[in-house]
Structure 1
Amino acid sequence: MAKSKTAFVCGECGAEFPRWQGQCSECKEWNTVSEIRLAPATSSSRNARFSGYAGLQENKVQTLNEIAMTEIPRIDSGFRELDRVLGGGLVPGSAILIGGNPGAGKSTLLLQVMCGLAGRMKTLYVTGEESLQQVAMRAQRLGLPRDRLRMLSETSVEQICHVAREEQPAVMVIDSIQVMHVADVQSAPGSVSQVREAAAQLTRFAKQQGVVILMVGHVTKDGTLAGPKVLEHCIDCSVLLDGAADSRFRTLRSHKNRFGAVNELGVFAMTEIGMKEVSNPSAIFLSRGEEQVTGSVVMVIWEGTRPLLVELQALVDYSQLANPRRVTVGLEHNRLALLLAVLHRHGGMQMADQDVFVNVVGGVRVEDTSADLALLLALVSSFRDRPLPKELVVFGEVGLSGEIRPVPSGQERLTEAAKHGFTRAIVPWANRPKHAPEGMEVIPVKKLEEALAAL
């Protein structure tokens, strides 16, 4: 009997080491290295290696123009927001990982998708965390059709693949990958080795059988997907369902997608009958009051393939502390410190003795640099206690020398703002449109001083 081998793998970055060590030398994280058991090499692979690869099928080398380009039909999930995040729909033979905090709505969304697809094709829902009665009760509470969806309660990956070969489903859900286990791995379910091998076998099964596999993944306290980092490398698409605890809105964001664009954003609302699509998310994030307030401005950010209007709020107040506080919600903290220095140097406003609080309304996480100019104008509005016009929209990147740099898709941003009734816009000079939207006054600026003077 061949002796099994072991390796030590970091759960954060996937680096391998010959022995256990407290700190990973690659990512510098502590207590992330754990032991995994490697399957022994089979005799067939060992003999083929030393016999000049005898008996193996010889693959033909081809150039790119010789490869047949066949269009793969995508499967419509029934949710346009989900299809947008996935790049246009479900691709046969793909492995998709959906993560999110407890209670975010992962199982609810997938149950709605599967019940809708069950009327058009064969589907299989595998639950390992809940009983079949619990899933049926949820479907009844949501008012979903229950006569077509095939259910299976199992945690063994080998048994799941055996049942799937007999059922031949087009779409299959694994809820969740953390409770699945492989018989050859001698460790508890949820460990690094079990999650790694279970995901690898399910992904291999999806490629061989041409079935779409949707895997539910847990997240850590930092908001990242739990398990080894190689889990995100072996799957085709990784999406994260996120939402604040006190909000009924959920955002679905793509972090990796081999069949579409990355950083797409889909917005859902959690209701009594399940997850509902939000076709116009800008209207939700623009729920402003009738009264003009200081430190509030609307910016146009670009999420994936569409513009999104979001309200940004800033509060600047005199600090009683030796080190004033800098708090950001929805924006990068280091970006705020950088822009405060630019405002002091090129705007002539000193906020070293002021507490600065910045918030993006609606719980949206903004990573687009086009929010720089809007953030500076909101800070100036709060610092000078002068409200900005309600019909004003702002976007633009700010450089260290105070210049206003252009951002992509400027015309599309202005068109989206005009649809929502905005009549004035401060934009970078390079983004000035040839033909401004009807009824909108566009103010192009080159420097930060010009933007402040335009107010």
Structure 2
Amino acid sequence: MKQKTLYRCSNCGFESIKWLGKCPTCNSWNTLDEIIIDMKTSISKVSQSSKKPIKKLFEVISNKSDRIITGINEFDRVMGGGIVKDSISIITARPGAGKSTLLLQISDAVAKKGCKVIYASGEESDSQIKNRADRILETINKDIWVLQETSLDNVLYSVEEVDPDLLIIDSIQTFTIEKALPARAGSPTQTMECANALLKIAKNENKPRAVIIVGQMTKNDELAGLRALEHLVDTVLIIEDDNDEELRVLVSSKNRFGGIENGFFQMCENGMISIDNPSEFFMTKREDDEIVSGSALTVIKEGTRAIITEIESLVSKSFTPYPTRIGETLGKDKLNTLISILEQRGGINLYDKNVIIKTTGGIKIREQGINLAVIMSIVSSVKQRGIESTIAFIADVGLTGELKKVPSLESRVKELARMGFKRVYVPKDSFMRGYNKSDGIEIIELKTLNQVIQHVYN
């Protein structure tokens, strides 16, 4: 039998016909492993019995509604309306962010729908999974199977035995498959071979199954392994977290079955709780006559959803030559830019003032549409005069002090109307085709930052 020897880098997958001490692609030392390839098998033709018939596109039956609705609203939203039954997804996050907790809650929700679930873990024992289940689940469903295993071959045997609707692999970097030996667990060879085997399980025409893989995260907050792993799966999910906060944001960076959406969860003792009304969560509930200085409200866009967000600021006297500028959920450079605009175009001096900015709930700000609200919260703190809680600001502010338009203004205003707001400040000549005056919210269109300050404070 004719064989060929190759040397493959366990870090990046680079292949060479001779051994090298240093990989020329990723510059790692001593990572090239010897691999024996059976040339007869590699060049053999596909037998006629295993060949799949070709189909015309218009004859293919699409199963758009063939989903498992978990009932965890924020998760279902991110997935595009539930878990597609013949899909393969991967989820990653930093250690302790709540991957295993969320997947155990998903397993329980899916089992309650009458579906069978296998939870295979290469990192935790059966008893550890059971202890977590006792803590976060009211009851443990009889249709959930657990398997502590690092051999994917044994997991595939269990799939044939149990015939599950959902298979969870936690995490793929801990599993090995026999055909990829002697490559170690977590190497690009093992990871991709395991992922391809799971892909065949998910896309089986006779018995389609949903597969969710946990992928480890690198120290650079990226999914570990080759980029080919992200291309192979249907959905890539990332849990963003701040170690000091309870907020968890489930982000879909790729979704073949829906748009790019964000889901919000609150981590607590009983697991990850879906935040079904983020607008209520990310602002402080106050009475109409309760006015607090240093607070301004705006609306951000997360995916296709408009969310009301509260910007809080604190301005205090500085006794040092260099005042403090802190933006907990806002970049420092952006904060300094907005302060310079306020000083130059708004006529408010902050050269001897400390300025601290944060958002209620700890949501991170990634867009320009909140700039007017940030500036107005600082103005409110400087003047020690609050802004009514039924007023919002939606606009970018240019270096000239002029208000700039923001995208999706109509949907943002509609969200304010839904939450009972009375007034919103927007850039002049904003195109509001989707706005209905019967919504009961007053839209004030102004051109400059100075005009907004004068209008709010008479």
What is the TM-score when the length of structure 1 is the normalising length? 0.83
For residue 369 of structure 1, what is the aligned residue in structure 2? 368
**Is 227-236 or 390-399 further displaced after alignment?**
227-236
The answer to whether the Cα contact below 8 Å between 2:11 and 2:187 also exists between their aligned partners in 1 is: no
**CA–CA separation in structure 1 for the residues paired with 2:258 and 2:223:** 20
Superposition map of 1:93-112 within 5 A: 93-112=86-105
What percent identity do the matched residue pairs reach?
Answer: 33
For residue 43 of structure 1, what is the aligned residue in structure 2? 40
**Is 150-159 or 382-391 further displaced after alignment?**
382-391
**CA–CA separation in structure 2 for the residues paired with 1:340 and 1:34:** 51
Superposition map of 1:56-455 within 5 A: 66=58, 68=60, 70-72=62-64, 73-119=66-112, 120-141=114-135, 142-183=137-178, 184-208=180-204, 210-262=208-260, 264-288=261-285, 292-319=291-318, 324-349=323-348, 351=350, 354-429=353-428, 430-432=430-432, 434-436=435-437, 438-455=439-456
Q: CA deviation at 1:78?
A: 2.5
The answer to whether the Cα contact below 8 Å between 2:79 and 2:255 also exists between their aligned partners in 1 is: yes
**CA–CA separation in structure 2 for the residues paired with 1:230 and 1:260:** 21
SS in 1 for 2:224: coil
The change in CA–CA distance for 1:106 and 1:392 in structure 2 (over 3 A counts) is: same
Output the aligned Cα RMSD: 3.5
Q: CA deviation at 1:212?
A: 0.9
The change in CA–CA distance for 1:221 and 1:412 in structure 2 (over 3 A counts) is: same
Cα shift readout 1:291-348 (whole Å, capped 9, x = no counterpart): 5333211111111222211111223445555555443222344433443444445434
SS in 2 for 1:307: strand
The change in CA–CA distance for 1:201 and 1:440 in structure 2 (over 3 A counts) is: same
**Is 291-300 or 270-279 further displaced after alignment?**
270-279
- Aligned residue identity for 1:182: I
**Is 294-303 or 243-252 further displaced after alignment?**
243-252
The change in CA–CA distance for 1:38 and 1:81 in structure 2 (over 3 A counts) is: farther
The change in CA–CA distance for 1:171 and 1:60 in structure 2 (over 3 A counts) is: closer
**Unpaired segments ≥5 residues, structure 1:** none
**CA–CA separation in structure 1 for the residues paired with 2:272 and 2:71:** 12
Cα shift readout 1:370-419 (whole Å, capped 9, x = no counterpart): 21221222233334443322221111233444443333332332232233
The answer to whether the Cα contact below 8 Å between 2:279 and 2:307 also exists between their aligned partners in 1 is: yes
What is the TM-score when the length of structure 2 is the normalising length? 0.82
Cα shift readout 1:89-144 (whole Å, capped 9, x = no counterpart): 11122111122333333222222222232241232111222222222233334222
The answer to whether the Cα contact below 8 Å between 1:139 and 1:146 also exists between their aligned partners in 2 is: no
The answer to whether the Cα contact below 8 Å between 2:21 and 2:29 also exists between their aligned partners in 1 is: no
**CA–CA separation in structure 1 for the residues paired with 2:272 and 2:164:** 24
The change in CA–CA distance for 1:388 and 1:35 in structure 2 (over 3 A counts) is: farther
**CA–CA separation in structure 2 for the residues paired with 1:447 and 1:69:** 55
The answer to whether the Cα contact below 8 Å between 1:332 and 1:367 also exists between their aligned partners in 2 is: no
The answer to whether the Cα contact below 8 Å between 1:432 and 1:444 also exists between their aligned partners in 2 is: no
The answer to whether the Cα contact below 8 Å between 2:284 and 2:360 also exists between their aligned partners in 1 is: no
The change in CA–CA distance for 1:323 and 1:437 in structure 2 (over 3 A counts) is: farther
The answer to whether the Cα contact below 8 Å between 1:395 and 1:426 also exists between their aligned partners in 2 is: yes
SS in 2 for 1:327: strand
The answer to whether the Cα contact below 8 Å between 2:101 and 2:272 also exists between their aligned partners in 1 is: yes
Q: CA deviation at 1:149?
A: 1.4
SS in 1 for 2:68: coil
SS in 2 for 1:117: helix
**CA–CA separation in structure 1 for the residues paired with 2:35 and 2:265:** 41
**Is 85-94 or 203-212 further displaced after alignment?**
203-212
The answer to whether the Cα contact below 8 Å between 2:183 and 2:190 also exists between their aligned partners in 1 is: yes
**Unpaired segments ≥5 residues, structure 2:** none
**CA–CA separation in structure 1 for the residues paired with 2:181 and 2:257:** 32
- Aligned residue identity for 2:387: L
Cα shift readout 1:221-245 (whole Å, capped 9, x = no counterpart): 4443334443323222122234444
- Aligned residue identity for 2:296: V
The change in CA–CA distance for 1:314 and 1:221 in structure 2 (over 3 A counts) is: farther
The change in CA–CA distance for 1:439 and 1:37 in structure 2 (over 3 A counts) is: farther
**CA–CA separation in structure 2 for the residues paired with 1:57 and 1:143:** 48
**Is 118-127 or 351-360 further displaced after alignment?**
351-360
SS in 2 for 1:259: coil
